[in-house]
């Protein structure tokens, strides 16, 4: 049997889809890259913004059409939307066979195999992809209840996974060829398992022989400790990149968002990070049009974007999510204003990105080679920028290369091996 999986949402979802795929392969259910070749169509969903939910509905519309001509296929919906509104999905799309919520994702492969009457366990030993970059989830859920956010409702309370299991998974990944590990969690700073804190976990992972790089995301500014900043400065395998969602730079809005920091405190963190790790790239998330966001509030966020000069940012138009505290506030910023503010932030951020990448031309960057196609290697700097390297060969894959940057475009750099 074959499955096709469509993944919407964050890195954590991509990681969970990956894990589900591996578990399915141990039942002899293998991945195909086109929906038309699949016996099982799986949709991994996201509920963070209403747009992500709309995307899922339109995918299900297409899957349903496909099923009309292929009555035997199974449609499975997993993840956050399945958790939040599984019954509604089932009601609207009668062709959906199985709904598996985010909290039950660990049992998904078993339930899918059951649905398809695949009972003969593993003829095939689970195929282990030799990924150069391995994503590893270290915790699940969130207790922060930012007032706009649906995550605590759909993913549940924060749980940190067993540190020995995580380290073992990392070791296994490195034995299978991984050179970089990305640790994932909604708020990695609050990781704690027995006496092991996040910094302890990272230090232990960094000790693994053969591992070149460690990254992590996401960090919550309210929990970013001096200890973590020190660790970033001293552990050479930890990449010079931090994703630190600011959301807004207006203290009134931050308070209404229940973010538990002020812009002043956020700026202090940035300064500390830049002092400790001079080449650090700070990326962020911003929401425009949160309830009550006046033009002055927005102006403060725009000013902060200019002042901080993020290495990159994601900007979102606020959308009301069910059950959240902000859902009971008046969604009073017009769609036009949300769109205008969104595009102003994006334009400013693009301008800054172009300036940052232009200043990298002529410099030497250490990059990790991830993929090769037609003699061109796709690699990444420690700060997370994509670099295309000409005249490379397959033996360079998985290696750190010193590259001279020759040309820069907004989302990619081009260079040559020194
Ligand atoms: N509306 C718009 N953006 C949101 N985010 C989370 N919830 C909402 C919402 N209701 C954004 C935040 C978060 C990112 C993952 O998604 O910026 O950091
Ligand atoms: Fe949502 Fe806030 Fe938790 Fe992030 S920290 S997942 S924004 S509630």
- HEC states along the chain? CEEEEEECCCHHHHHHHHHHHHHHHCCCCEECCCHHHCCEEEEEECCCCHHHHHHHHHHHHHHHHHHHHCCCCEEEEEEHHHHHHHHHHHHHCCCCCEEEEHHHHHHHHHHHHHHCCCCCCCCCCCCCCCCCEEEEECEECCCCCCCCCCHHHHHCCCEECCHHHHHHHHHHHHHCCCCEEEEECCCHHHCEECCEEHHHHHHHHHCCCCCCEEEEECCCHHHCCHHHHHHHHHCCCECCEEECCCECCCHHHHHHCCCCCCHHHHHHHHHHHHHHCCCCEEEEEEEECCCCCCHHHHHHHHHHHHHHCCCEEEEEECCCCCCCHHHHCCCCCCHHHHHHHHHHHHHHHHHHHHHHHHHHCCCEEEEEEEEEECCEEEEEECCCCEEEEECCCHHHCCCEEEEEEEEEECCEEEEEEC
pLDDT in tens, 125-164: 444 445 899 999 999 999 999 999 999 999 999 999 999 9
Tens-digit pLDDT profile for residues 369-381 = 999 988 899 999 9
Ligand 1 site, CB within 6 A: 48-49, 148-149, 245, 247, 285, 287, 316, 318-319, 321
For the chain, domains (ranges, CATH) are 2-115 (3.40.50.12160), 129-239 (3.30.750.210), 241-358 (3.30.750.200), 364-417 (2.40.50.140)
More confident residue, 19 or 258: 258
For residue range 346-358, what is the model confidence (pLDDT) as tens digits? 999 999 999 999 9
Task: Output the CA 49–ligand 1 centroid distance in Å.
Answer: 6
- Report which ligand 2 atom has the smallest distance to the Cα of 145: 8
Distance, CA 320 to ligand 1 centroid (Å)? 10
* Mean pLDDT calculated for residue range 102-120: 88
Ligand 1 geometric centre to CA of 318 (Å): 7
Q: What pLDDT, on a 0 to 100 scale, did the predictor assign at position 131?
A: 85
Q: In the prediction, which pLDDT does 117 show? A: 86
Q: How far is the CA of 371 from the centre of ligand 1 (A)?
A: 31
Given the CA of residue 218, which atom of ligand 2 is nearest to it?
Answer: 4
Query: Which pLDDT score is estimated for 119?
Result: 67
Q: Kindly indicate the confidence band of residue 394, based on its pLDDT and cuts at 50, 70 and 90.
A: confident
What local confidence, expressed as pLDDT, does residue 375 receive? 86
Q: 26 or 239: which carries more pLDDT confidence?
A: 239
Query: How high is the mean pLDDT of the chain?
Result: 94
Task: Take atom 14 of ligand 1 and give the residue whose Cα is closest.
Answer: 285
Residue to mutate, 49, 53, 243, 314, ligand 1, most ligand atoms under 8 Å from C-beta = 49
């Amino acid at each position: 049997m074959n499955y096709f999986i469509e993944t919407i949402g964050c890195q954590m979802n991509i990681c969970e889809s990956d894990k589900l795929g591996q578990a399915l392969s141990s039942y002899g259910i293998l991945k195909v890259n086109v929906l038309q070749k699949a016996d099982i169509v799986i949709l991994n969903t996201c509920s963070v913004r209403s747009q992500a939910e709309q995307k899922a509905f339109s995918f299900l519309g297409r899957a349903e059409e496909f099923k009309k001509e292929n009555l035997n296929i199974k449609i499975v919906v997993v993840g956050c939307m399945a958790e939040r509104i599984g019954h509604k999905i089932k009601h609207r799309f009668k062709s959906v066979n199985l709904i598996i919520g985010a909290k039950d994702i660990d049992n998904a492969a078993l339930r899918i195999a059951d649905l398809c009457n695949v009972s003969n366990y593993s003829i095939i030993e689970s195929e282990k992809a030799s990924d150069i970059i391995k994503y590893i989830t270290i915790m699940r859920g969130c207790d922060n209840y930012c007032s706009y956010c649906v995550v605590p409702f759909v993913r549940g309370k924060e749980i940190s996974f067993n540190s020995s299991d995580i380290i073992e998974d990392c070791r296994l990944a490195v034995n299978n060829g991984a050179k970089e590990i990305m640790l994932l969690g909604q708020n990695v700073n609050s990781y704690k398992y027995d006496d092991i804190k996040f910094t302890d976990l990272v230090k232990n992972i960094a000790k693994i022989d053969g591992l070149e790089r460690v990254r992590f995301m996401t960090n919550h500014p309210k929990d970013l400790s001096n200890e973590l900043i020190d660790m970033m400065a001293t552990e050479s395998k930890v990449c010079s990149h931090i994703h630190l969602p600011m959301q807004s730079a207006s203290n009134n809005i931050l308070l209404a968002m229940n973010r538990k920091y002020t812009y002043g405190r956020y700026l202090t963190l940035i300064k500390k990070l830049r002092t400790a790790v001079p080449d650090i790239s700070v990326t962020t998330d911003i929401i425009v049009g949160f309830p009550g966001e006046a033009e002055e509030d927005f102006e403060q966020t725009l000013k902060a974007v200019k002042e901080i000069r993020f290495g990159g940012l994601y900007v979102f138009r606020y959308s009301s999510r069910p059950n959240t505290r902000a859902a009971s506030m008046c969604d009073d910023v017009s769609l036009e204003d949300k769109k205008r503010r969104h595009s102003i932030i994006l334009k400013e951020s693009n301008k800054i990105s172009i300036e940052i990448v232009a200043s990298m031309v002529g410099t030497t960057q250490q990059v990790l080679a991830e993929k090769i196609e037609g003699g061109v290697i796709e690699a990444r700097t420690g700060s997370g920028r994509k670099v295309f390297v000409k005249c490379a060969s397959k033996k360079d894959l998985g290696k750190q290369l010193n590259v001279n940057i020759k040309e820069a475009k907004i989302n990619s750099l081009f260079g040559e091996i020194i």
